[in-house]
Amino acid sequence: MKGSKLFAVAAIASAALLGSQFKAQNAPTKIGLVDVDAVFAAHPGYKDLSELGTKANADMEQLKNTLKLPELTTKAQAAGATAKDKQDYATAKTTYDNKGKQWQTQISALQEPLDNDVNSAIASVAKAQGFSVVLSRNAAAKTGLVIYADEQATNLTAAVLKALK
């Protein structure tokens, strides 16, 4: 008798749990896609960020050549490397890394407001249109995360671009 009562209670609990899961699944989850690269490129601050990145890359390339970093790396990693070779490499690498950190600080200072603006625009459009999840269109395509999507129903890029301006 005890076993049958326990079984009945377990069956009722399972049915209640399954019923609540089905009710939770009745609300459809809308998933949207945004071409984040296009949105960033359309941001008014993107030109300044892009120019700074180009300037940083050119400066870092010039510094690498001025310091002769490739040659110092080869010498320091060679089997017969002297203590001076290793020290010269370490000094040059530290100088190069410090300059890279300076550039990264400047780039981050420009990029953070862009990130915030883009993320806010995406969130605003998603909420207004009832989307629960928004994915990067490019990342989803490259990784195979999304195999098919109805472009008209899921692509929020145009609305986000409009909200960003």
The pTM of this model reads 0.70
Q: What is the pLDDT of residue 34?
A: 95
Annotated domain spans of the chain = 2-164
pLDDT number for residue 145: 87
Q: Which two tokens stand for residue 55?
A: 């300037």
| Backbone CA torsion sign across 131, 144, 25, 152 | positive
What's the pLDDT tens digit per position in 129-150? Answer: 999 999 999 898 889 888 888 8
Record the tokens describing residue 136, joined without a space.
């990067």
CB-based contacts of 48-55 (< 8 A; 24+ apart in sequence): 48/110, 49/107, 49/110, 49/111, 49/114, 52/106, 52/107, 52/110, 53/107
